[in-house]
Structure 1
Amino acid sequence: MGDAIEARTIRRVSWRIVPFIMLLYFVAFIDRVNIGFAALTMNKDLGFSSAVFGFGAGVFFFGYFLFEVPSNIILDKVGARLWIARVMITWGLISGAFAFIESETSFYVLRFLLGAAEAGFFPGIILYLSYWFPARHRAGVVSLFMAAAPISVVLGSPISSALLEMDGLMGLHGWQWMFIIEAIPAIVLGIVVLFYMTDRPEKAKWLPEDERNWLVAQMNDERASKQTAAKHGILAGLADIRVLALALVYFGTSAGLYTLGIWAPQIIKSFGLSTMAVGLLNAVPPTIAVVAMILWARHSDKTGERTWHVVIACLVAAAGLALAGAAASVVAVIAALSLVNVGISAAKPPLWAMPTMFLSGSAAAVGIATINSIGNLGGFVGPWVIGWLKDKTGSFTGGLVFVASLLVLSAILSLVVARTGRRAESARVAAH
């Protein structure tokens, strides 16, 4: 009876929540990285160098960093429905305003504001999922949610390329049309969130009473079981050394992710291809990554192992970046970028299953936001270093090798986190 109601409840909750949050992240990620496609024509129109573009693209993460923890604390207090709606509507408006940038300064300011507006969305959804799914189901669900990022590249690349072809319509450049049109779904979905999203299982009128009671009891039991083992105060989420270590692990994966999102179109374009061909080829690596991510996360859930699933994936991504730097043909660079996509995507679900193993309550809200805010600074460092070295050397190779080294460091730190966790558990058991 217990297994049957669990399967039925998780299935119903998954169908209600997962496709919708995937759609939200799909739109969010397009608005976050469509700057990479805009650069194919915008940089020339506005006279931006590679260094200017790399810095501006990365400034997003300063705003993200400053407002991430406060945003997640507010979400935990006021509920996901109101806060996610606020996030989406404000980022949609700011994303559309990119159509009107005229200088380096306006580019930098808007990228910072976009990061500030979007802060809290991703860690907020991770926290939200911890309200609805028992820990044993979490990595698989997170993998489906996070699959929206590579899917957005798969579908968004040809769409963004096509919108760039609207150059000259009504006196606007193609990149201006791209920003305007791709901002609209965020605003519309922000309004939909207000009517569709449910904050907690206790409020889920769309669940049959027996399933709602089972889920509420399960999540209450899980929280109670953490009372001795997990930390729940706000300061605990900031003070745990494992939070800082996981933030640095995420730093490397973020550097890799946004290297792909922001620079992959230009890396592919460097082989002399048309804008539309770049869009189609850029969709190939993330298509492979979606499948790999879901299978890898399911294997992690099935075995209950997290650390080595992160380590192996980070090393695969690092190898792909090194190979991309040495690639001498389009086929070779697409193969290398496929390895990077697979590794980066596969690392994230088991990584995000780790903090909720030792944090709960307010500590989980703060810890997850801290990991995401510090970690996402890698999204500044990776693209900026690549742009700076590209201007200095005329090649992407040095920057790609640098980001690869960050991913190797992420793999090492994942092992350190696991060892620290085992020591903490041994000390807790000994104390009792």
Structure 2
Amino acid sequence: MSADLNSAAIPAQRSAPAAEQATVPGIVRDIELAEPLPLLPAVQADGRRAEQAWLLIRLFSEPLGFLLLDLPEQGLTPAELAKAVEAELGDEVRKRLGDVPVPVHGLNPASEPDFLAQRRAVLTTAPHITVVVCTREHPAELTKCLDSLLAQEYPAFRVLVVDNAPVSDATAEVVRAAAARGPVDYMVEPKGGLSFARNAAVKAAPGQILAWLDDDEVADPHWLAEVARALHEHPDADVISGVIVPAELETKAQIWFEQFGGHSKGRGFKADEFGPHTRHIQSPLYPLPPFGTGANMTFRPGVIERIGLFDTALGAGTPAMGSEDTLAFTQVLLTGGTIVYQPSAVTRHYHRRDLEGLRKQMVGYGTGLVAAYTSLLLSRPVLIFPLLRLVPSALKDMTGKDTARTATIREDFPQELLSANRRGMLAGPRAYLRSRRAARAKVRATQA
């Protein structure tokens, strides 16, 4: 969603001359409609001029959607912000507040809002959840991640950090410091590769609800509470998938990643459910819009074991580069399972800051996706026929101008990134075969 607003309603801010003033592509803010709306200045406290504002709009902490607004030189007044929210999310606000306009000065409800009452009720019988963070030599990022987990407003959880093929004791030191403040455990998986690390966690935590978070993310304080709400409201769900929003938009590369769909890939903020009853609407074989992402997913006990664990030839740290999560979601659905998308379970991701890092990520996404399909076909050759029937839809999603994949791409988006993504797709089958040989060699080496 986007809106372009121009206003002269507030005085121009004192700022450095244009030639001297540093700029930042975007700022990220949460906007709580129950509180008085803020003034959004174009010039930030550090003197930089912000070009856009990415705003997560919430009501009594419930995320309703996001706005991407261009910031005029004068900034945005609370009234202008309310107008923008009304234009994009007014219907969602009225569903919860009745026939009233978007509030500018906040709310003082006479009774506890339904959303908060439901969360409080779930927390009285909160199930124990093990949060798994797989990491490799990212101590600074891991520190922020663990800080956010220890700040969870949830009564029954622990964090399990899997140190994947470490070459230093940096991760162990970070975990040791966090464990002094809360329930954080540590283990090592010597075989390099994200799927090896994921599987080690599964084997170390049998019979437990497993929630997964990447080390370059931070969790909203209510993340686990909203995961628990989804588990409670959907007792038949095998997997709960939350929403991932940007933690910052400090560089053009981060803006472009969001234009490409970010981690949300057009899912929006409407709760959804995928399972046997939705196959006529959404094929388990083609996840666009997908069912979830590995950076914010929760599995009930035994589900990962039921699908044969994560494919060790997929994921970060392999030639296939990714998509162990995509394959897992697909396998859950193909075996009759159910995945629930719970957009109130929010995590924030620090996107790659530089163009080269984003280019590699785009290659990895393409390579991993097709590698996952290669894995699926090798295990279930009969799926070739339904997959071929889905090819026209896939081509439309990749090349159409108003699809979930392309609708948010602006004119400044580098076409080379799309080309990099497609090059990765072409490399997918060969990369998977290389990954499978490498994974088997790692297993043999540890058994020797």
Q: Which structure features the higher share of helix residues?
A: 1
Q: Which structure features the higher share of strand residues?
A: 2
- TM-score, reference length from structure 2: 0.26
Q: Which structure's relative contact order is higher, taking Cα pairs within 8 Å and 6+ residues apart?
A: 1
